[in-house]
Structure 1
Amino acid sequence: MEIHRSSCVGRGDPVWIFEFGHSSLRRFAHRYCRWLAAYRIKVLTMAIPISYNIRNMILRKRLTLMTALGIALTVTTTVFLMMLLAGMRKAFVSSGDPLNVLVLRKGSTSELTGGFTKDKMPILRQLPGIATDSHGQPMVSGEWVVVVVLPRRNGTAEVNVTLRGMEQDGVELRAKKAKLVEGNWFASGQREVVVSRSIHDRFSHTNVGDMIDFGKGAWKVTGVFDGGGSAYDSEIWTDINQVASQFNRQGAVGNAYLRATDPVAADSLKHRVADDQQLQLDGMLETEYYEKQTANGGGIRLMGFIVGLTMAIGSIFAATNTMYAAVAYRSREIATLRVMGFRRGSIVTSFIFESVLLALLGAAIGIVLMLPFNGMSTSTSNQVTFSEVEFSMRITLQVVTTAVVFAVAMGLIGGVAPAWGAARREILAALRD
């Protein structure tokens, strides 16, 4: 009998082979070496199963739930503020029509501060590219925008509301956005108004047939319209001549709206008005004008950033504390994983992944808690017109995506230090704990 010493591939472990004059045992030993090397390579490169993290989260369900709720609180605050911004943006941006061109006095930034003489209106009506109304006339509306004060239905306060005086074409060029739902449109030359459904629901004396007091007297409510969630939902409409008379604006118009035949004509009209040295007016697409109005959300955006950042720091500490507790609780498990051959990188990845799972659970809870607020109406003050603007809070895909990314970032930051500490522990010290 001969004794041979061989080495297994990969780790150099000795395998003693006894030969009885033939090579069968030698072949068996070599196969064993190859299997052992392959097994060790697999252990060294494979990741810790996800089920391991999930089972441990379930085992520590109380700590898991408390941490997830802390993250959920941060997510709900962030989602709430983002819903406000999304609703405000929809209210303003959806108001504009790409075929409507707004004409303002040169240098004016809003309808409230505009104003130019009426003798420029005939020139505007003759510009090429303007669509015609049902009577074959150029679809142009001279308008005045003023602010009036109305009492709320509950009698708690009086609030600034936008009153828009317009020509008859002003209703027609907004026909895609505003639909009459009750009564009739105002008559030209009469002290009549139509109110938005939102105004009707929130303010006193706004039912059809009621009389509203503002300006120099009382106005009759003849109809209610639905603005389709746009900024028109915060307006009252009436005849421009009545507004000019009641608020001493005769001989001028605050702004004008031109209805273009197509988008190319709208862009051409905008530049033609702005470039005409005789007119001394500015032209912009209605969509561009309302896009600028979304600057009102800057304060909410800043507040959301400060509040969200402050709460996120607290949530990160909570997640870090949870993961440190998990490391201390599972000290022997971690050492056992090391003995089994799992690399430090696999352990770090596993604990960071568990922290992210906690954050995702918190994000899911936070988003679900905010679902009842989707579509809820609220209001803010328009910093340009100083009137109240109503809008509905919206949970959009962008809001959800941002909330999830925010939560994952908190989980990643909160899990790095505990994961690194777990991987660096000495095996023998961990087994003795």
Structure 2
Amino acid sequence: MKRIMRWLANLGVVLALAAGLAVWIALPWFGVLAVAAVLAAWLLLSRRGQQTLAVASVGVSSLPQRWGASSVIVVGIAGVVGVLVAMLAMGEGFKATLNRTGNETTAIILRGGSQAETNSVITRDQVPLIGQLDGIARSRDGRPLVSPELSQVVSLVTRADGTDANAQLRGVGAMAWELRPQVRIVEGRRFEPGRRELVVGRGAREQYVGLEVGRTLELANQPWTVVGVFESGDSHESELWADAEVLGPTYQRTAFQSVTVKLDGKRGLARLKAAMAADPRLKLDVETTRHYYNKQSAGLTRLIQILGTVVGAIMAVGAVFGALNTMYAAVAARAREIATLRAIGFRGLPVVVAVMLETMLLALLGGLIGALLAWLVFNGYTASTLSGNFSQVVFQFQVGPELVWTGLKWALGIGLVGGLFPALRAARLPVTEALRAA
């Protein structure tokens, strides 16, 4: 019967721990501050809290004597946090790059039902019809701000390892520069309409071989000259741009894939949708470019987050076992000390909380080290990955305060799990048995 009761008690502890961890992971920063404030008030103002501080101070003061064993917790948790933050920083950097690409003042038009440019077709006779629709802004000379575009994947040699990789060659219309004012030529000049000339994003130039100004590329068995380099601070920096009217015939394209337009005011999108729905010749969809690029980043960002969480969880299990072994050994080494404290009137709660505070202090130190290493090594690190168009997008890892905060919550969660069961053992240790064993 006692075994069943003990088993049920342990099961209750595990279930409560699992629920507590779920709440802890979901807790916002102000919730954590509230928990910390309540704990600090209890430690300072209550009798048992002061007893807890006394027991914890003894344990913390003895850390230098057992630093070798304690470093297992610190190093293990630092590794978990470092890997987790680095993985999530990759997803955040990719998401931020694509999110910066679009805005609410421009819209992209695709064939009805298309999810990306790669599976969209807009015929040439539809482009003039689109330009006459209500909701599209016009330039000073009265021309609609419309850029019919096509996307072509080309194979280029990477600088990193000399292998072939996909790059996105975008054919744009004459209005593309006005539609994307963030695109700035930083070296050379723009391509001239009607000529086989390219301008390349700075990220693409750093990623691939042979994209310096003045170099000639052979694309579709035709020579193309690189005449300029541009910056945009978004995913367009991973692209090569050319005149769509020249690029289309080169690759035997008789249609476009998308049309980017400038919206006329806040109601521009609604007016454009209404006008498009009223014309039976236009079976097309339209959405803001911000919404479009947010959708393009969502799938890969979610995959990276899932992978990062799974890898972090697997490493966290190892760190928890390391913490358990270390704290069990610490409790065993301090058996006489804990028994003496309980013999002179210290209750089980102060002992439990003191052991857990000691473990979570080590966990916090490991979390800070892991987050710092992730920030030093990966923040601003340039990488590339495949986009929705199956071409490489150059982006930078972003280690921000939110990711550091996530890593620290994971560290403290590991410390909570790793310290709870040794703490319970210390509180349940019979006084006479502990004194006799010591």
Coarse TM-score class (shorter-chain normalised): 0.7 to 0.9
In the alignment, the residues of structure 2 paired with residue 324 and residue 243 of structure 1 have an alpha-carbon distance, to the nearest angstrom, of 69
Tell me: CA distance 1:267–1:312, structure 2 relative to 1, closer, same or farther (3 Å). farther
Alpha-carbon RMSD: 2.0
Paired residue for 1:210? 215
In the alignment, the residues of structure 2 paired with residue 134 and residue 363 of structure 1 have an alpha-carbon distance, to the nearest angstrom, of 57
In the alignment, the residues of structure 1 paired with residue 74 and residue 273 of structure 2 have an alpha-carbon distance, to the nearest angstrom, of 53
Q: Report the CA distance between 1:86 and its aligned residue.
A: 0.9
Paired residue for 2:400? 396
Question: What one-letter code is carried by the residue in structure 1 that aligns with 2:258?
Answer: N
Q: Does 1:361 align with 2:396?
A: no
Paired residue for 2:181? 175
In the alignment, the residues of structure 1 paired with residue 277 and residue 328 of structure 2 have an alpha-carbon distance, to the nearest angstrom, of 64
Task: Identify which of 328, 334, 349 aligns with 2:332.
Answer: 328
Name the count of aligned residue pairs.
389
Question: What one-letter code is carried by the residue in structure 2 that aligns with 1:253?
Answer: F
Question: What one-letter code is carried by the residue in structure 1 that aligns with 2:292?
Answer: Y
Uncovered stretches (5+) of structure 2, i.e. residues with no partner: 1-44
In the alignment, the residues of structure 1 paired with residue 271 and residue 411 of structure 2 have an alpha-carbon distance, to the nearest angstrom, of 47
Task: Identify which of 114, 137, 160 aligns with 2:120.
Answer: 114
In the alignment, the residues of structure 2 paired with residue 263 and residue 59 of structure 1 have an alpha-carbon distance, to the nearest angstrom, of 67
Q: Does 1:192 align with 2:200?
A: no
Spell out, residue by residue over 1:243-300, the C-alpha distance to the aligned partner (whole angstroms, 9 max, x if none): 11101113x2211011113343235434653675431001111111111112123433
What SS does structure 1 have at the residue aligned with 2:175? helix
Tell me: CA distance 1:275–1:349, structure 2 relative to 1, closer, same or farther (3 Å). farther
In the alignment, the residues of structure 2 paired with residue 81 and residue 154 of structure 1 have an alpha-carbon distance, to the nearest angstrom, of 21
In the alignment, the residues of structure 1 paired with residue 143 and residue 427 of structure 2 have an alpha-carbon distance, to the nearest angstrom, of 79
Spell out, residue by residue over 1:10-42, the C-alpha distance to the aligned partner (whole angstroms, 9 max, x if none): xxxxxxxxxxxxxxxxxxxxxxxxxxxxxxx96
Task: Identify which of 297, 305, 308 aligns with 1:304.
Answer: 308
Task: Identify which of 244, 264, 267 aligns with 1:261.
Answer: 264
Paired residue for 2:345? 341
TM-score by length of 2: 0.84
Tell me: CA distance 1:155–1:301, structure 2 relative to 1, closer, same or farther (3 Å). closer
Paired residue for 2:232? 227
Q: Report the CA distance between 1:130 and its aligned residue.
A: 2.1
Paired residue for 1:86? 92
Q: Does 1:319 align with 2:323?
A: yes
What SS does structure 1 have at the residue aligned with 2:52? coil
Q: Does 1:280 align with 2:293?
A: no
Q: Give the percent of matched residue pairs that are identical in Structure 1 and Structure 2.
A: 35
Task: Identify which of 372, 380, 388 aligns with 1:375.
Answer: 380
Q: Report the CA distance between 1:372 and its aligned residue.
A: 2.2
Tell me: CA distance 1:378–1:420, structure 2 relative to 1, closer, same or farther (3 Å). same
TM-score by length of 1: 0.85
Task: Confirm or deny: 8 A CA contact 2:81 2:370 kept in the other structure.
Answer: yes
In the alignment, the residues of structure 2 paired with residue 369 and residue 206 of structure 1 have an alpha-carbon distance, to the nearest angstrom, of 34
Task: Identify which of 73, 80, 104 aligns with 1:74.
Answer: 80
Which runs of structure 2 are paired with 1:143-158 in the superposition (5 Å)?
Answer: 143-153=149-159, 156-158=162-164
Tell me: CA distance 1:361–1:153, structure 2 relative to 1, closer, same or farther (3 Å). closer
Which runs of structure 2 are paired with 1:95-106 in the superposition (5 Å)?
Answer: 95-106=101-112
Q: Report the CA distance between 1:307 and its aligned residue.
A: 1.6
Tell me: CA distance 1:268–1:395, structure 2 relative to 1, closer, same or farther (3 Å). farther
Tell me: CA distance 1:191–1:420, structure 2 relative to 1, closer, same or farther (3 Å). same
Task: Confirm or deny: 8 A CA contact 2:201 2:240 kept in the other structure.
Answer: yes
Question: What one-letter code is carried by the residue in structure 2 that aligns with 1:423?
Answer: A
Larger helix fraction of residues: 2
In the alignment, the residues of structure 2 paired with residue 223 and residue 42 of structure 1 have an alpha-carbon distance, to the nearest angstrom, of 71
